[in-house]
Amino acid sequence: MDSIQVTGIRAYGYTGALPEERVLGQWFEVSLTLWLDLALAADTDQLADTYNYCQAIDQVQRLIRTQRFSLLEALAAAISRATLSGDERLQQVRVQLVKLAAPIPDFDGRIAVDMTRDRTFLRSHT
């Protein structure tokens, strides 16, 4: 199956287990892998025959900015659901969600959730 990869989607949001994370917020970064058949677009060279990834970028940024979750897993699932419901041509989505600066003492790393979902997830979780 073909895929489109969109990396480096950043937004400031309010997801986190600590109450101050949901009030003060922090930066998140998302990468998406979008699986769909790209044969028609490759043949026609027409934007209408492929997936408009600008829509996915906008959805991800809006979700991060406006939704508040305690867990990264819940935000990643919401991104999966929104992305899959945006276009029926999408068969599967991989969401790599990174918390860029986790509020953990003496820790300078990043925390990430990597989630892959297909249309069966959409049908069972709406």
Sheet holding 92-99, edge to edge: 3-13, 26-35, 92-99, 111-118
Both tokens of 67, joined, read 């939704």
Question: Choosing from 60, 83, 93, 99, which is the catalytic residue?
Answer: 99
Within 13 A of 3's CA, how many CA atoms are on the CB side? Answer: 12
Measured between its terminal Cα atoms, the distance across the chain in Å is 25
C-alpha span between 52 and 83 (Å, rounded):
11
C-alpha span between 71 and 81 (Å, rounded):
16
99 is catalytic: yes
Annotated catalytic residues are 99
